[in-house]
Amino acid sequence: MRQRPARKMSRQASRTGSLLIISLWLITILSVLAVAVARYLSTEVRLARYRISHERAAALARGGVYVALRILMSDLETLEPGNQVYDWLGDDWAKPGSGSPDDGTWVAEWPVDGADLLSGLARVTVSIEDEERKFNVHSVPSPSDIGSWQFVALETLLTPSAAAVALVDWLDADMDPLDSAQPANEEDEPTGWRAKNAPAARLEELFAIPGLRDDVDSSEMRRLLSVSYGLTAKPNLNTISPELLASMGLPTLADALTDCRQRGIRFAEGIAFIQTADQCLGSAGTLPAEEQGRLQEFGSASQTFTVVSEGLIMEKDGSGVDRPPVRVTVEAVVRRTACEPMVAPCIIAWSS
């Protein structure tokens, strides 16, 4: 009879031990869950903070494009000395900031939080490039006119020469290959490639052309070629590079252009280009008759520009430590003239 209380106590101790183990397991599971939830919420907070910073940086970058439009329109509305109209590399859109010839960027920055100047920094950086200082790839008259100065210029700019053939074949309106060594462009050609046979809307399209993507540096194509000219636009003599002029068959003017710009001589609408060119040459003589006849193919006022705008958000956390910066870059092709059905100024292409 005296053994029953001992068994009862043993069962009670066993129950107490089981409850303790279960409680410990429950505490462990709840602790793991609490840590997991905390980490999840921490990640979500960081993602939400990054998303907000990204949207703010994107808004800054898009806003920079509209600032560039305002700068370009302000320049258009401001006549040059002598009430002349032209665009040149000394305009505010081309050389803002310190005024250094290599300084082609607008920069604006301010605190992320106006009430806390130490909270971080918001910055927008804008650069504007004249598209009409480049070679218009759509200017080659037709694939049959392979000896035209436009094709020769393209062939000079793109080496090897097969790259120029591939480019014109990509853009021309017919399905016949420009080079008999190239496969036909029909869709059912198993070993060939299909040409677009239409104008390019973006320069990036050219990077996919067989014969260009492997043999021509894409940065060189960006520097030299444009697909964004308006229908009536002409290369700008005040901004075009001497290298491009030489490739277009104007070596005498190309040689004189650098000195011309250093002396402050600029081509202006309404003033004879031949007289200005002779002024650039000075004692070197006059422009050859062949080059004089070509000057009508050029202009001095640009309408189409590429704007690259970067929005940057740099914030600090509660302890003052810098968070990783968030950058968003937007590139836009803008035009100061109307783009039907849009009125001037207009944005004809966006990318980010």
Locate the domains of the chain by residue range: 49-132+302-351, 138-217
Q: For residue 12, what pLDDT is reported?
A: 63
Dmax (CA) for the chain in angstroms is: 135
Q: For residue 141, what pLDDT is reported?
A: 72
Q: For residue 103, what pLDDT is reported?
A: 62
Q: For residue 269, what pLDDT is reported?
A: 77
Provide the whole-model pTM: 0.80
Q: For residue 191, what pLDDT is reported?
A: 47
Say if residues 294 and 152 touch (Cβ distance below 8 Å).
Answer: no
- Residues of the chain under the 50 pLDDT cut: 1, 98-101, 180-191
Q: For residue 186, what pLDDT is reported?
A: 45
Residue for token pair 């014969």:
211
Task: Kindly list the distances between the CA atom of residue 231 and the CA atoms of 228, 270, 332, 338, in Å, as whole numbers in the listed order.
Answer: 9, 20, 19, 12
Q: For residue 99, what pLDDT is reported?
A: 44
Backbone φ and ψ for 137, nearest 5 degrees, come out as -65, -20
User: Which two structure tokens, joined as six digits, stand for 279?
Assistant: 């002024």
SS3 346: strand
Say if residues 292 and 280 touch (Cβ distance below 8 Å).
Answer: no
CA pair distance 197, 190, nearest whole angstrom: 19
